[in-house]
Chain A
Amino acid sequence: MPITETHDLHKRRLGRNVGVALSLVAFAAIVFGLTVAKIREGASMEAYDHTPRVSVTPPVESGQ
């Protein structure tokens, strides 16, 4: 027999879970929006990660 009776406790838990879910969605949206804003203003999209990359290596002066 399923438990169908709801108590104030269940309402509080539901409210809390919805609140946490919305906060997480908002946080994800903010991180996404921030990433877009950072890229738009020309922030570096690459960094040194122990793999040699021409794009993140400072140019070597010739003639030395």
Chain B
Amino acid sequence: MTDLTTNSTVTAAEGEARFGDYVLLLKPRVMSLVVFTALVGLLVAPVPVDPMIAFTAILFIALGGGASGALNMWYDADIDAVMRRTAKRPVPAGKVTPGEALTLGLWLSAISVAMLGLATNWLAAGLLAFTIFFYAVVYTIWLKRATPQNIVIGGAAGAFPPMIGWVAATGSVSLEAILMFGLIFMWTPPHFWALALFMKSDYHVAKVPMLTVTHGRRETRRQILIYTILLAPVALGLGFTSIAGPVYLAAAIVLNAIFLKGAWDIWRRDEATAEADAYATEKRVFRFSLSYLFLHFGALLVDAGLRAWGIA
């Protein structure tokens, strides 16, 4: 009897998901960025928020982001299966069925929006619902496979969390929230395209129109420079709002100067030079772009702390 039971379950065990597989559906690394930026958006707002309500708000903003990740993995399973970088994701690996990913995504979306609304206000909940819709439907289903500007448009979904954090605290959208949104929105294209230049990805196999494939690497270098130039006034503009102080302004000046220099260097290089030094400049700018965003939001937090202690 025991043999019968054991043998009959071998096949099922291979497709049986662990709890961690469901967690992976939520894209935890993306969630960490959502948590950080939403937390900054909430903490720099001029309205104090009860710690428990703040914790709940951040948790469900992150969970909403995770839900959109699960919906993305449900719809993109066919693409993920043919690309090396994503082939081991739970759905293409056969650990989680597409139906399970869809169900989890939809339920977590509903729960996170409802809980954020109950914890804070319904404008914040509405923005979270729109973010999930934007990422899952507008980006994943509609535009990702249709236009090489997919990164630009998809970046909007990643830019909403600090705005939602701000609205959760204040109940309204203001210039500060829009500029925090703009900072991430304008940062996303140069960040991802720098990565696309040195990551020999197989997007063409999956028929996803990435800029490097559709318009060439020369044009990608030009677009990186254009978006970095457009990013600078947004980042510096945020420095003249009520939430920023001397620390942010100083950081923004230095960080944007370095980023602009990096984008300029990328633009001036051709493929032969880049291949000769194994894309050293592109890799350097990509790594810096991660610090760029973290340090901008970190500086906002420092200024908020200085204000709270009456130093600035």
**A residues adjacent to B (C-beta < 8 A):** 1, 3-5, 7-9, 12-13, 15-16, 18-20, 30, 33-34, 36-38, 40-41
Contact = CB atoms under 8 A, between A and B. Distances in A.
Contact of B18 (A1, A7, A15): A15
Interface residues of B, number: 23
A24 B6 CA distance: 31
B118 A16 contact: no
Contact of A9 (B1, B13, B53, B59): B13
Nearest to A1: B1
Contacts of A30: 56, 59, 115
Nearest to B54: A37
Contacts of B22: 16, 19
A7 B223 CA distance: 54
Main secondary structure of the interface of B (DSSP, over half): helix
A1 to B, nearest CB: 6
B119 A34 contact: yes
B56 A12 contact: no
B17 A37 contact: no
Nearest to A38: B53
A8 B2 contact: no
Interface string B42-62: 000000001111001001000
Interface string B1-40: 1100110011011001111101000000000000000000
Given A4-B2, A5-B5, A7-B6, A12 B53 contact: no
